Amino acid sequence: MAALRRALQVASRAAGTRRALAGSLAGSCLADRCLWDKLHAQPRPGSVPTFDWFFGYEEAQGLLLPLLQGAQAAHPLRVLDVGCGTSSLSVGLYAKCPHPVDVLGVDFSPVAVAHMNNILEGGQGQTPLCPGHPASRLRFMQADAQNLEPVASGSFQLVLDKGTWDAVARGGLPGAYQLLSECLRVLSPQGTLIQFSDEDPDVRLPCLEQGSPGWSVTVQEMGPFRGITYFAYLVQGSQRQPWVFAG
């Protein structure tokens, strides 16, 4: 969570209107939807429509693209981005990935979902997003990552969690374990869940191993990006072969 707190401080300096909100987030439960609604409603500095807490698609693509290479146009690989917020991760996969992907971004903030749909559709004078592969698709849906009831079990080959565990865990580990349980429920038995975080492996790995019996849990170091080292925690089905970060 250290990087998340630093990002809050940077965002506060970049936009004066965020100052009071950043202070309240830093001392509050980050699982509170109202706080995120307020944050996502704030103006963004410059012309960048997305906002990334840790890092964005550009930094993650070296890890993600090897997982997507086997996708075929008739059967795009299904990707779920839980707690997508207004990150560039899902739109980057859709617009820049050369392999066919069917991406669903899920967030409990209706403000975030509306903003991302606006980016996708080209609202407010923006150009609509074009897919990096003709068969790729992108959708956004409001849903609680701890209760993904509208999502069918085993229906995604790749589930991405960029900072969502970190935010939910601020409200207590039971909520984080419920999030993990839902991610594994909707994940294919041969699929991969990736949690991106700055949390030390000595802390995160025991939690994931306890909450993912029967799954393989490994960690890959990422970065440093802007002076911060991050980690990708991979929870994979037992039938899948481990692989190494290419970035």
Mean pLDDT of 22-33: 52
pLDDT at residue 201, rounded to an integer: 98
Q: Is the peptide bond before 224 cis (omega within 30 degrees of 0)?
A: yes
Label residue 38 by pLDDT band (50, 70, 90).
confident
Topology given in CATH for the domain delimited by 75-237: Rossmann fold (3.40.50)
Tell me what pLDDT residue 70 has: 78
Confidence band of 12 (pLDDT split at 50, 70, 90) = very low
pLDDT tens for 131-164 read 999 999 999 999 999 999 889 999 999 999 999 9
237 confidence band (pLDDT: 50, 70, 90):
confident
As a whole number, mean pLDDT of residues 106-117 equals 94
The pLDDT of residue 73 is above 90 = no
**Alpha carbon distance 84, 112 (integer Å):** 8
- Show Cβ contacts of residue 184 under 8 Å, excluding neighbours closer than 6 positions: 193, 212, 215, 235
Q: Is 247 exposed, middle or buried (0-12, 13-18, 19+ CB in 10 A)?
A: middle
For residue 244, name the pLDDT band (cuts at 50, 70, 90): very low
Helix, strand or coil, per DSSP, at residue 88? coil
CA distance 48 to 65: 24
Task: Report, in angstroms and rounded to the nearest whole number, the Rg of the chain calculated over CA atoms.
Answer: 17
Domain boundaries, the chain: 75-237
Name which of 8-17, 29-38, 177-186, 235-244 the model is least confident about: 8-17
